[in-house]
Amino acid sequence: MEGSGSWDSLVVGWTPEELRRSDSQLHGMTEFLLEAEDVIVQGHGVVLVNTDEAGTLAVTNFRILFVSEVSQQVIELGTIPLATIEKFSKHAVKLPSVPRQSNKTSSRRLLQVVGKDMRTIMFGFRPKTKQRRAVFDALCMCTKPEKLKDLYVFVFGLSTFKNDDPKLRLLKEYHRLLGKGSFRASSTAIGDGLSLSNNWWRITSINSSYALCPTYPFALVVPKSICDEELLQVSSFRGRCRFPVISWCNHDGAVLARSSQPLVGLMSQRNTADEKLVAALCGTPHKGSRRKLYIADARPRKNALANGAMGGGSESSSNYFQSEVVFLGIENIHTMRESLARLRDYLDTHGTASSDGMSSFLRNGGWSWGGGNLSSMSASVSTLGDTGWLIHVQSLLAGSAWIAARVAKESASVLVHCSDGWDRTTQLVSLASVLLDPFYRTIEGFQALVEKDWLAFGHPFSDRMGFPTVSGINNTPSELSRQSSVGSLSSSPLRMPSGYFGFSFSSVLLKMDK
């Protein structure tokens, strides 16, 4: 690199006059800003260690923006949206002593940014400046806003795009599944849709106010032979009241159903209403014989047994008529999170633009100024297989294919659940649905699938991704505005409070104006 385009420029230091001149320049950042994107803090002469390139770093209300001082172009590797940042931290690495200046010590001021998209970015700052602290403080205030409306996507206010009510869209998909043709949106459509049924299944409004189960949709498809009073009895026997309901069905009565774990505990408790509901998922006999029911427990068997000690557990095939319980062996979210961290460390260590800036050199035993990659687990991950990630992906795909095969080849019904029924369960049911139903392989169908099985069935996106909930946006309940119902999951392993001090964008901008 020429001029200031490398670490060498930082080692020699800058004069006070050069610092003042650099800090006063905008470096043409304005031309790279999006509409309504505002710069909160800016640093000059910052080095993107991954590529050993100097440039200008800006923290805006949308992203970290890095522009090369040499090419005057945005460097994509060093540019990352705030919502994509998982965590960030400060590091200081001492430099080797310089001849004739052995009495002077120097260090590199580093800021590591870890992204949810597998990136590990390292920025180096000039010594004797406060730029790193200013950037770090801005990230602390901006990466975890208190309110969803503080995200950049809501800068222009709520979207003016008009579409059907989410409830109408859900009922439209239910109409399609029950073989009732098109669904006409009107002022009376919701009431009419809730009375829909076919030979085997019906739509119930028992959860219309979300009082029975706050993480289930307002309308549910259940067996026609099961009354609402029985559904009330079943809800108390399932974790978080997520009782068995139908997610997908075909023309001959086979279904994909979903739920959470039964609360059998160590005493193997039973619930007559639950057993009746699960048995009713078989529908009518198929080809003269009773349809088989598979209960696909997504967890490893040992995990399901361990949950029994905490009041949960799994079904016994002896208590559920014509059923077979199968454990798919997919690990829990704690294991997945650790595996994902190892995968990120592997990619950072062996990537062409790693956060140490010299991963290829390090792999061949060369000298390293910081002992190699700064990621703590990188030394223990030597191959992709060590991360375990591919095994987890394989387990999920194999489980989904197995579920789809039971429905397609045997015309069996399958009830899928894990512990709470919103992570592994949602993934399995969604993938199996894509395999079974060509409609879900279209753009419109995929949208309907995501809205039904992920949004309406209460997947905790805000909790898993570290986003605020929608509280405060509006007071209109809908299938898309109930993420706050899972906001009480404070024990979730994927909540990432690192760097979050509870400030909003408005407070940041107010402070910067003072």
Catalytic residue positions, numbered: 418
**Could you tell me the end-to-end alpha-carbon distance of the chain, in angstroms, rounded to an integer?**
39
Could you identify the residue written with the tokens 């739509």? 203
- Cα dihedral: 233, 239, 242, 247 (round 10): -120
Q: 142-160: b or e for each residue (b if 16 or more CB lie within 10 Å)?
A: bbbbbbbbbbbeebeeeee
Mark out the alpha helices in 370-469 (DSSP H runs): 389-410, 424-436, 443-450, 461-465
**Token reading at 343:** 């995968």
Could you identify the residue written with the tokens 């031309």? 31
Could you identify the residue written with the tokens 């770090």? 136
The answer to whether 8 is a known ligand-binding residue is no
Could you identify the residue written with the tokens 């009073």? 229
The answer to whether 420 is a known ligand-binding residue is yes
- Beta carbons within 8 Å of 276's beta carbon, 6+ residues apart: 226, 230
**Token reading at 105:** 């010590």
Helix axes 228-235 and 272-280, enclosed angle (nearest 10): 120
Is beta strand 245-249 parallel, antiparallel or unpaired with respect to 255-259?
antiparallel
The answer to whether 423 is a known ligand-binding residue is yes
The answer to whether 418 is a known ligand-binding residue is yes
426 neighbors 248 (Cβ within 8 angstroms): no
Measuring CA to CA, which residue among 165, 302, 277 is closest to residue 220? 277
The answer to whether 369 is a known ligand-binding residue is no
Whole-angstrom distance, CA of residue 204 vs CA of residue 230: 12
Whole-angstrom distance, CA of residue 297 vs CA of residue 260: 9
Question: Residue 68 pairs with which residues in a beta bridge?
Answer: 55
Could you identify the residue written with the tokens 């650099």? 22
Distances from the Cα of 513 to the Cαs of 20, 39, 509, 510, in angstroms? 20, 12, 6, 5
The answer to whether 424 is a known ligand-binding residue is yes
Whole-angstrom distance, CA of residue 38 vs CA of residue 210: 39
**Token reading at 422:** 């919103």
Whole-angstrom distance, CA of residue 368 vs CA of residue 304: 46
The answer to whether 333 is a known ligand-binding residue is yes
The answer to whether 421 is a known ligand-binding residue is yes
Write out the E strands in 2-145. 39-48, 53-60, 63-68, 80-81, 85-94, 107-115, 120-125
**Token reading at 442:** 């279209």
Helix (H, G, I), strand (E, B) or coil at 124: strand
319 neighbors 275 (Cβ within 8 angstroms): yes
Residue list, annotated binding site: 332-333, 418-424
Residue list, annotated binding site for substrate: 332-333, 418-424
